[in-house]
Amino acid sequence: MQPYTHIGNRYATPTFSPLDSNMIAMEKYSGYLLIYDIGKQELVYESEDLGFITGKPDWGENNIICFPNLQSDLVYFLDIDGFTLTRVSLGSTKYTEWLNDSTIIFFQDGGRYGWHLLTYNYFSGEVATLVADAGNLLTSTDSYNKKYGKILIATEANMAYYNIFTNTFHDGPYSGSTEKPLFSVWHPRGDRVYYLKSSGFYYYDYTTESEHSIKESCDTRYYHSFDISKDGNTVIAELHQQWIDKAPEAHQYEEINGMWNYYNTHIVTFGLDGSNEKIVLEGVLDK
């Protein structure tokens, strides 16, 4: 039998503001959206319990954050100017991301008709279809480049992408990898994709058609979701840590051999080359 897992504060899905790289949005497990100033190291906003947030929040140039909740079929919009929260029902939604200042793109479950790639205008409420049968896009790791209109379609062998502006698919060169990326973000220049695998943090260069390792992970210390600052120089990531240690005295009788499997997360920043990693928000174990 495995030791009991004791989870502390879990911070997830950090996202930079495109207007101020000191400001980030993220989820506090489970279901609270936070706005945090990493420069001042202070909490700016914490939402009510919104339920399980199923996708990385996307902070638009319009200073509005959008994110989905698959359990309730709702998409949330948080207007930072006044912290006004709006809920919109768009059906079973896989992820949301700003296409421009007024419109988001999102995947919607069409039941037996498969998934569709749609747009929703935040101001008019208009919904339009971009790709009626987007099943082949669901190998995507939900990474969209706003400037170049590219959605990554990362498979085990082919770093292909779909161009939303021209409505065309582009086969990528063979990546040399046998492991599909778990989470990815386009570099603002549009020529590289940065992504995570179980073995660490990587990027794929479309110019040289090559994969590069940046940071390694292991079973007890690994990265999860992340974002890249608008200037393309800094990564903010969710760092998971696990360890086994003695359980508190009050719980000794409950546990196998008196041990607990401790688990928490930190929010960290580092350079694109993996250097200068530092904790900007520390996960603290519940007592």
pLDDT of residue 276: 95
Q: What is the mean pLDDT of the chain?
A: 80
Q: Report the predicted TM-score, pTM, of the whole model to 2 decimal places.
A: 0.84
Distance CA 83, CA 247 (A): 41
Q: Provide mean pLDDT across the span 47-52.
A: 84
% of the chain exceeding 70 in pLDDT: 76
Q: The tokens of 36 are what? A: 């945090």
Residue 233 has pLDDT above 80, yes or no: yes
Question: Which of residues 170 and 189 earns the better pLDDT score?
Answer: 189
| CATH of region 4-281 | 2.130.10.10
pLDDT of residue 208: 87
Residue 203 has pLDDT above 50, yes or no: yes
Q: Give the range among 47-56, 117-126, 220-229 with minimum mean pLDDT.
A: 47-56
Residue 5 has pLDDT above 50, yes or no: no
Distance CA 209, CA 269 (A): 27
% of the chain exceeding 90 in pLDDT: 32
Domain ranges within the chain, ordered by starting residue? 4-281
Residue 142 has pLDDT above 70, yes or no: no
| Per-residue pLDDT band at 29 (split at 50, 70, 90) | confident
Q: Give the range among 82-86, 248-252, 267-271 with minimum mean pLDDT.
A: 248-252
pLDDT of residue 107: 76
Place of tokens 């996202």: 15
pLDDT of residue 245: 61
| Per-residue pLDDT band at 204 (split at 50, 70, 90) | confident
